[in-house]
A and B are shown apart, each in its own frame.
Chain A
Amino acid sequence: MIRLNHLPTLRIKPGVPRSFTYGRRRLQGVEGDTVATALFANGVRVFGRSLKYHRPRGLYSLDGESSNTLVNVDGVPNVCAETTLLADGMCVASQNAFPGPDFDALGFMDALSWAMPAGFYYRMLHKPARLWPLAVPVIRKMAGVGTLAPDFQAPGRRDEIYPAADVCVIGAGVAGMSAALAAAEAGLRVVLFESRPWPGGAFEYRPGAARDGVACFQKTAELAAAVKASPHIRLFLNAPVIGVYSNGLVTAFQRGRSPHPFDERYIEVRAASVVVATGCIERPLLFEHNERPGVMQAGCAHRLARTWGILPGRTAVFSVGHDPGLEAAVDLFDLGVEIAAVADLRQDGLDPALVDALSRRRIPLLRGWSATKAHGRRRVAKVTLAGANGRFRKTLDCDLLVASAGFTPVTGPLTLAGAKLAFDERTGFFLPTCLPPRVHAAGRITGRQDWHAVAASGRLAGLCAIQDNGIDQTAAIGELADALGSLPGPVRGAKFVIAPDSGKKTFICFDEDATVKNVDQAMAKGFNVPELIKRFASVGTGPGQGGIPGHNLPLYVHQSGASPDAQPRPTTVRAPLTPTFLATYAGARLDMSKRTPIHDLQVAAGGRMERLGVWHRARRFSEDVHSREEILSVRTAVGILDASTLGKFRIFGPDAVKVLDRVYVGDMTRVPRTRAKYSAMCNEDGCLIDDGVIVRTGDNDYYLTTSTGRAGVTVEWIRYHTRFDDWDFGIVNLTDAYGVINLAGPEARAVLQRVTDADVSNEAFPFMGYREFAVGEVPLRAMRLGFVGELSFELHVPASWMAYVWNLLMDAGKDFGIRPFGLEAQNTLRLEKGHVIIGSESEQRTTLHDVGLGFLWHRDKPWARTVGDAALRQTEHQPGRLKLVGFRMADPSASPPRDGSVIVDRRIRGYVCTARYSVVLKEPVGLALVEDDSSAKGAPLAIYEDGCGGRLIQAVVTETPFYDPEGLRLRL
């Protein structure tokens, strides 16, 4: 197709070709084309097939207001051709059509529309229920809009950005740019979003003169130049807004591709003031076959010519309801389109200059007429027009039907911001009755259509935004408001008209193939408000996000008389206002995790790393999922574990001990200088939330450890539970400051002694002792603990020295067969010893008493009541609680049940917390939480395991610990 290369409004570079493929065809567009305009320029008129009826669909709007032009681009389905800029080498394919959109094998579905009434899914397949699983795959296959594999990864580069702003303006049309410039002149930082690839909005392409005689597009271009020159305005083009929230939070995304370093990026702005200047879209005209290829909006036809240099058709009929429609007819005539007739819904109120212009060109103007039916199978061939009463009709040949019922404001951002909308009789718009604080509406969205009035309303909103930022603008706002009053106000809108023959194939929602008849069916079923009809008939629930039916549905329902509301009421708008990829929401896909100081050493040693919470940790160091060799190494020689993820804190100050007494169940006044004290924390319900050790490192100075999972919240927990006490203490999170090495096994002492001059004998450093000494001249903190049930040294090493000390110990332990062990081995080792892990052997309801740790509780604190104290008193002897018990299998050769398996008799009596095969004991052992009447030693437990086929696994409650019950090995 030959382009109109001479127009000053063009946004393409005709001399810069862009090659792409469409199906098997190799086509060419030019720089500046969208996929849709490039296809249209290459003669493509049927872009795809509709969802249910497989009707041919073509270019209708140019801003993605419907799913008509969804295509597959480079393997990604459901890409909107209207808003996707063409790139060299793109592979474009149609979707939902076989073998192609021009001839679709499922095109016969259109003739079966009678079988798919409103609520088809609910009514037809509701019963028998067994039909549903059979029907779903078939329906999805026939009605799908592209397919995605569950493991599909969106291609392309995603990014995110959080620009700082004082004012956020949505829409870079004349009003939006005026608002931005006003705010920028006051030195405020402005972020300006525009969904199109260039600023200007509705006036950017229009050649009609403004009140001062200068063409609209020229005046708009001057405004755009000023915006681009302003250092205070950041203009994001091709950036549709997704959502608007309270406190000035606005989210958007920006389409990129070269030269941008991203394909799409997520944008989030929090501004003190928000200006919504999103303008209007055109309200679809309702008539039979109103979505036939060749039917398009006035703005679409006009922009095709003015912006992309493409004539939308050879012979056109216009059926419009606004002056820009008349302006488009005049301009397209001048550009070479034959205009057979212009029908205008309005009897009066037409711009006399435009009426005169039509007359001078001998274009017939039919006042009060509109299209009633489009004819043609795959594209428009002729159109029937009728007068208001339907008595007079004309049928005209054409290949283009420009149809528009008038404008409808894009109020989605206002609604999301919290504005309430009401129907305005004059404009026919849903307009906000009151705006939330620091949110302003400007421009055509208010019903104004005059260039100067739109600009002034934008500037007024800009001044209000300045005021929101604390700069007094009272006088300026008053002056401008007065000036705005002297400019043309909101324009009277066309009345809602529906052609007399409309119904069966008059589409109110293109995306969901929902017709006026479907709406009638829904109302006949008793659904009498748009919100209900929307759901029952699927009107406005497609990818167009309600753009096409958003206005017509409430007007039609109201006109029907079915609605109980006195005025039309719009349906609810929700984010995202413009659909985009989930991958775009993920932005840069930051997955921030923590690594211990010896992460790489563990990987090099064969560690199988797993992500546990924020940390990467070694699960095991061999292929053996049971880690038998690692377990035996600890039990018979020496093993070494990286336990750096433990929470570590310093708490100090005159009131430090009071703080500890508040959050720990034990008596913290009795923590000696050279010993570690094991204790636990409960929540207000007496339920166990954490355990660890506390050591006193100086006067009013303590060092304590917490579980890995609680490390991140311990400071807040402590601050929260001391918030009213005005105690003088400090707390520092040292979790990352120290790495922790657990050296465990009968040979642990011998290994440690090789690298330190300190006396680590049992006499000098007994069980539960705490010492500070140097290893390889690195000062560290050491504790004699026994979580895995063997002689153990827990060494707290400054993080930067961890690798050095770990390597020293590995070298020193070579002669003793030292080997690293991971979490799996640690889990089995501590299970054999009967030690609990909070979260594994406890859950939300588990108290200190339930897991047998009641002995830690000190009832009579001198300082303050312990968190959870009252609940511990109440639950101490409460019957019916789940108690932690050990169990062995009735048949020792049986496999251990899976963690989480339930314990049953005639009902669920508890569940297995952890069960493993013990290499040392040569039988499976486990810990379970069971009802107290099943917790006595020798009580039988029947365990139901997923996949057991009804054969319960038999176990018996037994005493713990399973291994070394006297605790002798801890004290070696």
Chain B
Amino acid sequence: MKPDNRLRQSPVQLDGRPHRTLVRDHWPVVCEYADEGDGPWLVDLSHCQRIDIQARPLAAMIPEGLPEPEAPGEVRIQDQSLITRMGKAQACLWRFGQAAAFPVGFNGTEITEATLALAILGRHTFAIAEKLSSLDLQAPGRSLPRLYQGPFAQVPCQLVVLDAAAGREMLLLSCSRGYGRDMVGAITNAGAEFNLRPAGEDRFMRMFENREKGA
């Protein structure tokens, strides 16, 4: 048995030519695609760690140091972690970059394997989204980032609007892993008129970090 040769499989393969890749925790990760263009972009983040947290009170189960979103729909970000509150007693933790170990006694459920995770970035992100969902992702008066739960391409999804500023649009999407191929197909078709292209994880991380810096 040669552990180094063992590779996990993402639920989706984006139709692009990887320019730079790495292997992280046995996941092959595309850092950058050749000819990513000017946006909009589609990024596969299925390798990023996601944890479902259910507890009453919820705060009791959120790992120390992470902020607690107070009401359903709220999202908190700290460093490379993002935590969304789905309901009274349920939240979801996303970790970008390297997965982390959790403290003893933590009773969250790892759902990285259960779900597909994608990001749609850049201009026309919401023009693509409105072709696939009736959710009002740009409802005025709602602070960002914001969690939405509902159908996207007819599939129950969690959607996080990270940024809606022109040119810096960021939309995270998560749904059941099995829908991966059809979901990417639906987004790709919807984005074709806007020249949607696949992009690597670096693109997402740059925009995510810039957003945090307020750049």
Contact with B along A160-191 (1 / 0, CB 8 A): 11111000000000000000000000010100
**Nearest residue, chain B, Cβ from A165:** B136
**Nearest residue, chain B, Cβ from A261:** B193
Interface presence of A584 (CB below 8 A) = no
CA separation between A728 and B3, bound complex, in Å?
40
23 inter-chain pairs at a CB distance below 8 angstroms, sorted by A residue, are: A163-B130, A164-B137, A164-B139, A268-B134, A270-B134, A270-B136, A590-B186, A592-B179, A594-B179, A595-B178, A614-B178, A730-B54, A732-B109, A736-B176, A737-B110, A737-B111, A778-B6, A799-B11, A799-B114, A799-B177, A800-B112, A800-B113, A804-B6
Please, which residues of chain B bring their CB within 8 A of the CB of A591?
182
Distance from A15 Cβ to chain B, minimum over Cβ atoms (Å) = 29
**Nearest residue, chain B, Cβ from A645:** B178
CA separation between A650 and B9, bound complex, in Å?
23
Known: A728-B56, A777-B1. 15 other contacts (CB 8 A): A161-B130, A164-B130, A261-B193, A588-B189, A592-B179, A615-B178, A730-B55, A732-B109, A734-B111, A736-B113, A736-B115, A777-B3, A800-B27, A801-B8, A804-B9
CA separation between A757 and B160, bound complex, in Å?
43
State whether A736 touches B114 (Cβ < 8 A). yes
Interface presence of B71 (CB below 8 A) = no
Interface presence of B81 (CB below 8 A) = no
Please, which residues of chain B bring their CB within 8 A of the CB of A728?
56
CA separation between A692 and B31, bound complex, in Å?
42
Contact with A along B1-14 (1 / 0, CB 8 A): 10100111111000
State whether A737 touches B137 (Cβ < 8 A). no
CA separation between A799 and B178, bound complex, in Å?
10
CA separation between A159 and B132, bound complex, in Å?
10
CA separation between A163 and B56, bound complex, in Å?
38
CA separation between A594 and B111, bound complex, in Å?
17
Among A594, A597, A778, A804, the most chain B Cβ lie within 10 Å of the Cβ of A594
CA separation between A801 and B56, bound complex, in Å?
33
Distance from B57 Cβ to chain A, minimum over Cβ atoms (Å) = 11
**Nearest residue, chain B, Cβ from A737:** B114
State whether B177 touches A736 (Cβ < 8 A). yes
Residues of A at the B interface (CB closer than 8 Å) are: 159-164, 187, 189, 261, 268, 270, 588, 590-597, 614-615, 650, 652-653, 728, 730-738, 776-778, 798-804
State whether B131 touches A734 (Cβ < 8 A). no
Interface presence of B19 (CB below 8 A) = no
Interface presence of B80 (CB below 8 A) = no
Residues of B at the A interface (CB closer than 8 Å) are: 1, 3, 6-11, 27, 52, 54-56, 89-90, 107, 109-115, 130-134, 136-140, 153-155, 176-183, 186, 189-190, 192-193
Q: What 9 A-B pairs are tightest by C-beta distance, nearest first?
A: A594-B178, A730-B54, A737-B114, A800-B8, A162-B134, A736-B177, A261-B193, A737-B113, A164-B136
CA separation between A160 and B133, bound complex, in Å?
10
State whether B181 touches A164 (Cβ < 8 A). no
State whether B176 touches A162 (Cβ < 8 A). no
Distance from B156 Cβ to chain A, minimum over Cβ atoms (Å) = 9
State whether B114 touches A734 (Cβ < 8 A). yes
Among B10, B56, B131, B133, the most chain A Cβ lie within 10 Å of the Cβ of B131
Please, which residues of chain B bring their CB within 8 A of the CB of A268?
134
Distance from B92 Cβ to chain A, minimum over Cβ atoms (Å) = 11
Please, which residues of chain A bring their CB within 8 A of the CB of B52?
732
CA separation between A556 and B138, bound complex, in Å?
51
State whether B176 touches A799 (Cβ < 8 A). no
State whether B181 touches A595 (Cβ < 8 A). yes
CA separation between A160 and B1, bound complex, in Å?
50
Distance from B203 Cβ to chain A, minimum over Cβ atoms (Å) = 22
CA separation between A738 and B11, bound complex, in Å?
12
Among A590, A614, A803, the most chain B Cβ lie within 10 Å of the Cβ of A590
**Nearest residue, chain B, Cβ from A776:** B1
CA separation between A650 and B113, bound complex, in Å?
14
**Nearest residue, chain B, Cβ from A728:** B56
State whether B54 touches A189 (Cβ < 8 A). no
State whether B113 touches A738 (Cβ < 8 A). yes
CA separation between A804 and B5, bound complex, in Å?
10
Distance from B56 Cβ to chain A, minimum over Cβ atoms (Å) = 6
Please, which residues of chain B bring their CB within 8 A of the CB of A736?
113-115, 176-178
Please, which residues of chain A bring their CB within 8 A of the CB of B112?
800
Please, which residues of chain B bring their CB within 8 A of the CB of A652?
107
Distance from B48 Cβ to chain A, minimum over Cβ atoms (Å) = 12
CA separation between A162 and B153, bound complex, in Å?
11
**Nearest residue, chain A, Cβ from B13:** A600
State whether B109 touches A162 (Cβ < 8 A). no
Please tell me which one of the listed residues B6, B178, B183 contacts residue A596 in the complex, with CB atoms under 8 A apart.
Answer: B178
Distance from B46 Cβ to chain A, minimum over Cβ atoms (Å) = 8
Distance from B93 Cβ to chain A, minimum over Cβ atoms (Å) = 13
Please tell me which one of the listed residues A161, A593, A799 contacts residue B113 in the complex, with CB atoms under 8 A apart.
Answer: A799
State whether A588 touches B136 (Cβ < 8 A). no
**Nearest residue, chain A, Cβ from B193:** A261
Please, which residues of chain A bring their CB within 8 A of the CB of B8?
798, 800-801, 804
Please, which residues of chain B bring their CB within 8 A of the CB of A594?
176, 178-179, 182
CA separation between A614 and B176, bound complex, in Å?
12
Distance from B191 Cβ to chain A, minimum over Cβ atoms (Å) = 11
**Nearest residue, chain A, Cβ from B27:** A800
CA separation between A590 and B27, bound complex, in Å?
29
**Nearest residue, chain B, Cβ from A597:** B9
CA separation between A736 and B156, bound complex, in Å?
14
Please, which residues of chain A bring their CB within 8 A of the CB of B10?
800
Distance from B128 Cβ to chain A, minimum over Cβ atoms (Å) = 10
Please tell me which one of the listed residues B6, B27, B110, B177 contacts residue A776 in the complex, with CB atoms under 8 A apart.
Answer: B6
Please tell me which one of the listed residues B9, B155, B186 contacts residue A803 in the complex, with CB atoms under 8 A apart.
Answer: B9
Please, which residues of chain B bring their CB within 8 A of the CB of A597?
9, 11, 177
CA separation between A738 and B176, bound complex, in Å?
12
Please, which residues of chain A bring their CB within 8 A of the CB of B113?
736-738, 798-800
Distance from A653 Cβ to chain B, minimum over Cβ atoms (Å) = 8
Distance from A470 Cβ to chain B, minimum over Cβ atoms (Å) = 10
Among A268, A615, A653, A732, the most chain B Cβ lie within 10 Å of the Cβ of A732
CA separation between A860 and B29, bound complex, in Å?
54
State whether B131 touches A160 (Cβ < 8 A). yes
Please, which residues of chain A bring their CB within 8 A of the CB of B90?
730
CA separation between A160 and B132, bound complex, in Å?
8
Please tell me which one of the listed residues A160, A592, A800 contacts residue B183 in the complex, with CB atoms under 8 A apart.
Answer: A592
Please, which residues of chain B bring their CB within 8 A of the CB of A590?
132, 153-154, 182, 186
Please, which residues of chain B bring their CB within 8 A of the CB of A802?
9
State whether A588 touches B186 (Cβ < 8 A). yes
State whether A732 touches B111 (Cβ < 8 A). yes
Please, which residues of chain B bring their CB within 8 A of the CB of A595?
178, 180-181
CA separation between A295 and B110, bound complex, in Å?
73
Please, which residues of chain A bring their CB within 8 A of the CB of B9?
597, 800-804
Among B7, B54, B89, B115, the most chain A Cβ lie within 10 Å of the Cβ of B54
Please, which residues of chain A bring their CB within 8 A of the CB of B177?
597, 736-737, 799
CA separation between A594 and B54, bound complex, in Å?
26
State whether A159 touches B6 (Cβ < 8 A). no
Given contacts A161-B131, A261-B192, A734 and B1 within 8 Å (CB-CB)? no
Please, which residues of chain A bring their CB within 8 A of the CB of B130?
161-164
Given contacts A736-B115, A804-B7, A593 and B134 within 8 Å (CB-CB)? no
CA separation between A160 and B178, bound complex, in Å?
24
Among A160, A592, A735, A737, the most chain B Cβ lie within 10 Å of the Cβ of A592
Please, which residues of chain B bring their CB within 8 A of the CB of A270?
134, 136
Please tell me which one of the listed residues B6, B139, B140, B183 contacts residue A777 in the complex, with CB atoms under 8 A apart.
Answer: B6
Please, which residues of chain A bring their CB within 8 A of the CB of B181?
595
Distance from B185 Cβ to chain A, minimum over Cβ atoms (Å) = 9
**Nearest residue, chain B, Cβ from A187:** B140
CA separation between A803 and B8, bound complex, in Å?
8
Among B8, B55, B178, B186, the most chain A Cβ lie within 10 Å of the Cβ of B178
CA separation between A738 and B178, bound complex, in Å?
11
CA separation between A3 and B138, bound complex, in Å?
47
CA separation between A656 and B45, bound complex, in Å?
32
**Nearest residue, chain A, Cβ from B138:** A164
Please, which residues of chain B bring their CB within 8 A of the CB of A650?
109
